[in-house]
Structure 1
Amino acid sequence: MLSSPRAVCVGEGLVVLVAEPGALEDSDSFRRSAGGAEANVARVLVQLGVSTSWLSRVGDDGFGRYLLRQLGESGVDVSAVSVDPARPTGIYVKERGAGTGVGHDLPRGESRMTYFRTGSAASALSAEDLVPTVIEGAAIVHLSGITVALSASAESMSKALLASAATVSFDLNFRPALWGSRISDASSVLADHVRGSDVVLMGADEAHEVFGINDPAALRAEFPEPRHLVVKNDAHVVTAFDGSSRVDVPALTLDVVEKIGAGDAFAGGFLAGLLTGHSAVDRVRLGHLCAAGALTAHGDAAEVADPSRLAAALALPDAEWNSARFADLVAQ
Structure 2
Amino acid sequence: MCVGESMAALLPDGPGPLETVGAFAVSVGGAESNVACALSALGVPSAWISRVGDDGFGRRLTGELAARGVDTSAVGIDPVLPTGLYLKETGGSAHSADLGTGRSKLHYYRRGSAASAMSAATLQEPAVARMLAEARVIHLTGITPALSETCFAMVRELLATPRGGRLVSFDLNWRPALWRDRDPAVLREFVNAADVAFLGADEAEAAFGTGDAHELRALFPGPATIVVKDAERVVTALAVDTEGGVTAVSEAALVVDVVEPTGAGDAFAAGYLAGTLHGFDQRRQLRLGHLAAASALVAHGDVGDLGDLARLALLDASEEQWSAARVTANGIEHGVEHGVEHGVEHGVRISGGISLGTVDEARTP
Q: Is 1:199 the equivalent of 2:200?
A: no
Q: Which TM-score applies when normalising by structure 1? A: 0.92
Q: What CA distance in whole angstroms lies between the structure 1 residues aligned with 2:207 and 2:224? A: 21
2:124 equivalent to 1:122: no
Match for 1:248: what amino acid?
S
Is the contact made by 1:293 and 1:305 (CA closer than 8 Å) also made in structure 2?
no
Q: Following TM superposition, by how much is the alpha carbon of 1:225 offset from its aligned partner in structure 2, in angstroms? A: 1.1
Residue type of the alignment partner of 1:292:
A
**Within 5 A, what are the aligned runs for 1:218-297?**
218-234=215-231, 236-243=233-240, 244-297=246-299
Question: Over residues 88-117 of structure 1, what are the superposed CA-to-partner deviations in whole Å (9 max), with x where a residue is unaligned?
Answer: 000101122342134x44333332221000
SS in 1 for 2:216: helix
Alignment partner, residue 31 of structure 1:
25
Instruction: Give distance in 1, aligned partners of 2:234 and 2:180.
Output: 32
Residue identity in the other structure for 1:122: A
Shift of 1:266: 0.3
**Within 1, Cα distance between the matches of 2:257 and 2:310?**
23
1:268 and 1:77, CA in 2 relative to 1: closer, same or farther beyond 3 A? same
* Alignment length (residue pairs): 320
Q: Which one-letter code corresponds to 2:194 in the other structure?
A: S
Do the aligned partners of 2:2 and 2:36 also contact (CA within 8 Å) in 1? yes
Residues 235 and 194 of structure 1: CA distance in aligned 2, closer, same or farther (over 3 Å): same
Are the aligned partners of 2:42 and 2:307 in contact in 1 as well (CA < 8 Å)? no
User: Which amino acid in structure 2 is aligned with residue 65 of structure 1?
Assistant: R
Q: Give the superposition deviation at 1:214.
A: 1.1
- Aligned position for 2:359: none
Residue 307 of structure 1 deviates from its aligned partner by: 5.1
Gaps of 5+ in 2: 241-245, 336-351, 353-365
Q: Is the 8 A contact 1:101 1:107 kept in 2?
A: no
Structure 2 match to 1:186 = 184
Q: Distance in 2 between matches of 1:301 and 1:266?
A: 11
- CA distance in 2 between partners of 1:260 and 1:54 (Å): 19
Q: Distance in 2 between the 1:108 and 1:320 partners?
A: 28
Post-superposition Cα deviations, 1:196-221, rounded to whole Å, max 9, x if no partner, equal 00010010111111111111111111
User: How much has 1:308 moved relative to structure 2?
Assistant: 4.8
Give 5+ residue unaligned stretches, structure 1.
1-7
User: Could you give the per-residue CA deviations for residues 12-69 of structure 1, whole angstroms, max 9, x where no partner exists?
Assistant: 0111101232331232311111100000000000001100110000000000000010
Partner of 1:77: 71
2:48 aligns with one of 50, 54, 61? 54
Greater Cα offset, 227-236 or 136-145 = 227-236
* Separation in structure 2 between the aligned mates of residue 19 and residue 290 of structure 1, nearest angstrom: 24
Deviates more, 1:105-114 or 1:317-326: 105-114
* Superimposed CA distance per residue, residues 252-291 of structure 1 (whole angstroms, 9 cap, x where no aligned partner): 0111111100000000100000011111000000000010
- Which amino acid is the alignment partner of residue 218 of structure 1? E
CA contact (8 A) 1:20 1:96 kept: no
Select the structure that is richer in helix.
1
- The aligned residue for residue 211 of structure 2 is 214
- Verify the 8 A CA contact 1:127 1:153 in the aligned structure 2: yes
Aligned to 2:3: 10
Q: What percent of counterpart residues are identical?
A: 49
* 1:326 alignment partner in structure 2: 327
Shift of 1:193: 0.5
1:155 equivalent in structure 2? 152
Instruction: Give the direction of change, closer, same or farther, for the CA distance of 1:66–1:146 in structure 2 (3 Å limit).
Output: same
The 2-side partners of 1:24 and 1:153 are apart by: 33
TM-score by length of 2: 0.84
| 1:326 counterpart SS class | strand
- State the Cα distance separating 1:80 from its structure 2 match: 1.0
Which amino acid counterpart does residue 264 of structure 2 have in structure 1?
A: A
Mapped to 2, the partners of 1:37 and 1:235 lie a distance apart of 19
Look up the match of 2:349.
none
Q: Which secondary structure state, in structure 2, belongs to the residue aligned with residue 192 of structure 1? A: helix
Structure 1 outlier segments of 4+, above 6 Å: none
Q: Give, in whole Å, the separation in 1 of the partners of 2:101 and 2:32.
A: 28
Distance across 2 between alignment mates of 1:225 and 1:110: 35
Give 1:160 shift.
Answer: 0.6
Question: What letter is aligned with 1:125?
Answer: M
Q: Report if the CA contact (8 A) 1:205-1:214 is conserved.
A: yes
Q: Residues 307, 93 of structure 1: CA spacing in aligned structure 2 closer, same or farther, 3 A cutoff?
A: closer
Which amino acid letter does the alignment assign opposite residue 170 of structure 2? F
Contact between 2:298 and 2:304, CA under 8 Å: does it hold in 1? Answer: no
What is the root-mean-square deviation in Å for CA atoms of aligned residues?
1.6
